[in-house]
Chain A
Amino acid sequence: MLTAIIGKKIGMTRIVLENGEMVGVTAIEAGPCFVTQVKDMDKDGYQAVQLGFGQAKRLNASQKGHLKDINEVRHLHEFRDVDVMSVKRGDKVDVGFLNPGDFVNVSGLSKGRGFAGVVKRYHFAGGPKTHGQSDRHRAPGSIGATTSPGRVLKGKRMAGRMGGKKTTVRNVRVVKVDADRGLLLVEGSAPGARNGLLIIKKVRK
């Protein structure tokens, strides 16, 4: 059975569990996905399952050819560390493989924060707010010594592009699974904005 699925982040809320515990959860529209291709050793040199998700608005000719006789999916994603033998092209995959209490890894594209300074990007403390300071409030401070070594060390944390990268939240508890509606609730937050694409993989235990 496949233990991975593609989903879309819906948003966050708070629910009460049966034992009275209140948890913050992220709702994910998980699946249904369709197996669009099974890659094998002979032909592709590696084993993988390609899943498709969502409804495409328009497809070009090569995409149409690739998805012939299958749903016109919007997103494709390849999974290598899954049970490749268990599926064939055209199969439908839903969240039924998950149960409340399972643990998953959730990956997605984090929110882009543009060109961010070191205070936001690396949690630097910035400079003093008072005592005659000017223009030093969010400055990074010294970036190195003088003549020796005479350069700025590689990897020095500085301002730059932040976010918009693939981010994975690991070992997230599954709170609720509704395979009919394709609804998945996981505890805590998930990367990215609402309506962002998420990859959900079950953690082997």
Chain B
Amino acid sequence: MDIRELIKPKINPSIPQISPGDTVKVSLKILEGDKERIQRFQGMLIRVKKGVDGGSFTVRRVTYGIGVERTFSFQSPLIQSVEVLRRGKVRRAKLYYMRGLSAKQARPKERREKVTERAVQQEAAEAS
């Protein structure tokens, strides 16, 4: 028996198609006692992991000269939305080399002109 067929991960539907190099803004529901608020985390997507649990993605940002990385599960019900602000053109799946770069070096990422998979799917849906 394969666990992948028995227990399907419940992927949060509010997460769009994202890929490494994108600059994203993650809106996260934070529970403080009985109060609820939205926290936003904006940065560059440096890693998308796959796995039996649906996988996870890591966003890196630099604040006040200090690099901060947060990893989110694709299953997380706390994620309200993930906004793609910019599609970066990168040639690697895992952008760990960003950690070694200064802010200036890490900033100018070429824009990707390639149509994303999602756009292709939409076009196909409209055509049919």
Question: Interface on A for B, CB 8 Å cutoff?
Answer: 8, 10-16, 20, 22, 27, 29, 181, 183, 185
State which of A10, A14, A20 has its C-beta within 8 Å of the C-beta of B6. Answer: A10
Are B53 and A20 touching (Cβ within 8 A)?
A: no
A14 to B53 alpha-carbon distance, docked (Å): 5
Are B73 and A27 touching (Cβ within 8 A)?
A: no
Say yes or no: is B78 at the interface (Cβ < 8 Å to chain A).
yes
Inside 8 A of B3's CB, which chain A residues have their CB? 10-13, 27
A11 to B6 alpha-carbon distance, docked (Å): 10
A181 to B54 alpha-carbon distance, docked (Å): 22
A103 to B54 alpha-carbon distance, docked (Å): 27
Chain B, range 44-95, C-beta contacts under 8 Å to A = 52-54, 73, 75-78
Inside 8 A of A29's CB, which chain B residues have their CB? 1
Which A-B residue pairs are the 7 nearest by beta carbons? A14-B53, A11-B3, A13-B52, A13-B53, A10-B3, A10-B1, A27-B3
A185 to B75 alpha-carbon distance, docked (Å): 17
State which of B7, B31, B76, B77 has its C-beta within 8 Å of the C-beta of A27. Answer: B7
A16 to B6 alpha-carbon distance, docked (Å): 15
Report the interface size class on chain B: 10 to 19
Inside 8 A of A8's CB, which chain B residues have their CB? 1
A183 to B2 alpha-carbon distance, docked (Å): 12
Number of A-B residue pairs at CB separation under 8 A: 43
Say yes or no: is B13 at the interface (Cβ < 8 Å to chain A).
no
Are B7 and A16 touching (Cβ within 8 A)?
A: no
Majority secondary structure, B binding face: loop
A183 to B1 alpha-carbon distance, docked (Å): 11
Chain B, range 1-44, C-beta contacts under 8 Å to A = 1-3, 6-7, 9-10, 31
Inside 8 A of B76's CB, which chain A residues have their CB? 16, 22
Question: Interface on B for A, CB 8 Å cutoff?
Answer: 1-3, 6-7, 9-10, 31, 52-54, 73, 75-78
A8 to B3 alpha-carbon distance, docked (Å): 12
A159 to B97 alpha-carbon distance, docked (Å): 41
Inside 8 A of A20's CB, which chain B residues have their CB? 31, 77-78
Do A183 and B6 form a contact, CB below 8 Å, given A11-B52, A13-B52, A29-B1?
Answer: yes
Are B10 and A16 touching (Cβ within 8 A)?
A: yes
Are A27 and B6 touching (Cβ within 8 A)?
A: yes
A183 to B3 alpha-carbon distance, docked (Å): 11
Inside 8 A of A10's CB, which chain B residues have their CB? 1-3, 6
Inside 8 A of B2's CB, which chain A residues have their CB? 10-11
A173 to B78 alpha-carbon distance, docked (Å): 24
Inside 8 A of A12's CB, which chain B residues have their CB? 3, 52
A20 to B75 alpha-carbon distance, docked (Å): 10
Inside 8 A of A27's CB, which chain B residues have their CB? 3, 6-7
A14 to B7 alpha-carbon distance, docked (Å): 9
